[in-house]
Structure 1
Amino acid sequence: MTCARSPPYIIWSRCELSVADNSLSEQTVTSGIQTQSIADMNAKYAIALILALQVSMSLCDIPEPEQELVDKYNNLKSTFYKRLLNAYGKVHEVAAPVIEKIGEGERGAAAKDLWEDLQSKPEVQAMVKVASALAREVGPLVDQGRAATLGMYAQYLRPHIGGYLDWCISNIKAHLDKFLPAEP
């Protein structure tokens, strides 16, 4: 393949493609300086495909997480939920008088009536039922995904970054205990 280009100020080029015999042994693929036959390239693609399939199949065997890791995760999750509930309680405690004052006004009464009207509509109740049923159906899938993620972490990442991650969590917990404690 030869290409002739005109000077850079003119955007125009002409390419010629020389085609030889179409037999398999004559066809070549040019990559930089090296020239390889199609059969060699197909063999390389086959080896790459086999290696990719082996990697994907090895990832299908997800190890079970250790019970100690599951307990640690569940403990951290429950502590996090306690922190969120405590924060919600504090915000509700501070905001309740403000919300009551707003509710006494004209606009606040209208907003309160709108909220009560929305809660009584059958469409909203149906959406709540669908959402709660969907959450019950998705729950086991989330648990399986969590177990798979913990297993993958325990197998592949924990030996390398487990100590550092534990150190980070301990430091974050110290700050959260000051500003967002789990106990009221």
Structure 2
Amino acid sequence: MYTGLCLVPPYIIWSRCELPVADDSLSEQTVTSGLQTQSIADMNTKYAIALILALQVSMSLCEIPAPDQELVDKYNALKGTFYKRLINAYARVQAAAAPMIEKFGESPQGTVAKDYIEDLQNNAELKAIVKVGSGLAEEVGPLVDKARQSVLGLYGQYLRPHVGNYLSDAIDHIKVHLDKFLPAE
């Protein structure tokens, strides 16, 4: 066991650290001061508890405002339009790629790839992973909705009075270009 002096804060008058040398015992560093002896793990536990309590107090003092219904309706309309644009883009890509995929399926490499994809679809492990993933998505859904409502409330309370008009104008400007290249209908 190595015993030596350690650098300590100036309020500790006398201190020493003991660091175990490679042996099979559980390692525990101790800090010995003139007044008390505590293990590093005990000190870290106290710091963690103090941090958790401080965070709980700060979060209880921080009231998150509810978003305006008008803001929620506008957000939902923009989100719905965005999803429609994505679905239409996917349909266009699928329609453009269908002839190439049919031709690819006729080649020897295409039949091997097709067989491999069919084997993956029948794989029990993949089905289990998909089932777990969909279960997680269902569990996380309410948390995401709550976080979204909180962010909309914070935006409506603190940012919208300052940047709301600029953001609305930017969205309207982007919509003009998206309607040309990626329509929602």
TM > 0.5: yes
Is 1:104 matched with 2:106? yes
Mapped to 2, the partners of 1:172 and 1:60 lie a distance apart of 35
Task: Describe the SS at the equivalent of 2:65.
Answer: coil
Counterpart in the other structure of 2:131: 129
CA shift, 1:59, in A, is 6.8
Alignment of 1:11-160 (within 5 A): 56-57=58-59, 60-160=62-162
Task: Describe the SS at the equivalent of 1:119.
Answer: helix
Q: Which has the larger Rg?
A: 1
Mapped to 1, the partners of 2:91 and 2:80 lie a distance apart of 16
Distance 1:147 1:105, change over 3 A: same
User: 1:82 corresponds to which letter in structure 2?
Assistant: K
Mapped to 2, the partners of 1:60 and 1:120 lie a distance apart of 50
Mapped to 2, the partners of 1:116 and 1:60 lie a distance apart of 52
Relative contact order, higher structure (CA 8 A, sep 6+)? 1
CA shift, 1:73, in A, is 0.2
Q: TM-score by structure 2 length?
A: 0.68
Identity %, equivalent residues: 66
Distance 1:160 1:89, change over 3 A: same
**Once superposed, which parts of structure 1, at least 4 consecutive aligned residues long, lie more than 2 Å away?**
56-60
Distance 1:57 1:109, change over 3 A: closer
Mapped to 2, the partners of 1:163 and 1:153 lie a distance apart of 13
Task: Describe the SS at the equivalent of 2:184.
Answer: coil
CA shift, 1:60, in A, is 2.3
User: 1:86 corresponds to which letter in structure 2?
Assistant: N
Select 1:175's aligned residue among 171, 174, 177.
Answer: 177
CA shift, 1:58, in A, is 7.8
Mapped to 1, the partners of 2:85 and 2:115 lie a distance apart of 32
Structure 1: state its 5+ residue gaps: 1-21, 23-51
Counterpart in the other structure of 1:17: none
Mapped to 2, the partners of 1:59 and 1:168 lie a distance apart of 35
Q: TM-score by structure 1 length?
A: 0.68
Mapped to 2, the partners of 1:87 and 1:59 lie a distance apart of 45
